[in-house]
A and B are shown apart, each in its own frame.
Chain A
């Protein structure tokens, strides 16, 4: 097997006295879709935010393409990289937020273009072209001149996905991207994600959409209490939950897995 695209080694994170990540180890290979599942408070989102360096963590290492990111060792001490260096690393990892977080003062197209011109240094003509082709791909070519408030939640989230993937990141992180949506808008966003997965995009997806996870993910990772409890192919994890916690968690979605 080739080297993993992303490797997290023994990640620990605490807020004040509470430890929310108690040693996470995870490897993600090129082209894989990894789904993180678990009840709220299990640390999925926190872990995802650590990967994109939106959160600092106290112990452990994250490697992207074999290179550690976020921190370096200096004189035997672990040191956070400068915000500038961290920014450049973030640009190689896409992040899609639960609450979209589109820039309210920019049109859909401008939202997608901002990172391309300012981070990638692309000329605006080229950036516009790429933004348009991505907006097209997520089905929003008609909406590219709309401001976020003029778009539905599902449309905003698709713009946010276009904004993340247009940067051509090594992998994209999806943080409960359908949780803030009305039920009837969920499908359009999941459709876009399925399309991306098929095209070979490497993705880590935090989601409560178990059908989507079952059909799209290559690997499912169940987290509980800041630890990874079980991981494996969806069929295996869903059919043979090894822990009581996972059984209880899956029980909430009963009927979905032919049980």
Chain B
């Protein structure tokens, strides 16, 4: 059963080990850059959506709604072919990070906006009453409370982003799905290899969910 002969599952995995491990690393890197940049930009945009003057709010609102109304794959193609057309040399990896990161930011912005707006008005008023100005109010009173409410939807979005990295296989980024496809093209072990890849994604995403659950428990003392 545990044979490493050529033609067995484990044997074929061994043959493809470097390619698969590199691909796994690529998937993790892609996810990391996308989620981090998307979260930072999204938090900023979310604050703008709540507090900024209306022209800025409108601008960000349009950005967020457009991004969320278009399939990621279309964004990826748009960005990838658009850059290529102008002979701007950005690797498929980074052009993918930018396309999915922009998409991620739009989702995060909505999440952050919702979380901020769900905090009772009395919190802002209490902070004003002790004389805090806007930035400290946001930083010490509003955002820490919003953070707790952000965690569950943040985890959902993060999981979706990890899944979305597979779309970059279509523009030739050798992440886990494409590497799996390449291995399958050689050995025809469709079921075993795709199930194994699915399992890897499951592990990544399940870990993310667990981290989210931990953070939620950690923040659970903030209740009204």
A and B touch in the complex (CB under 8 A): no
* Chain B contacts to A: CB under 8 angstroms: none
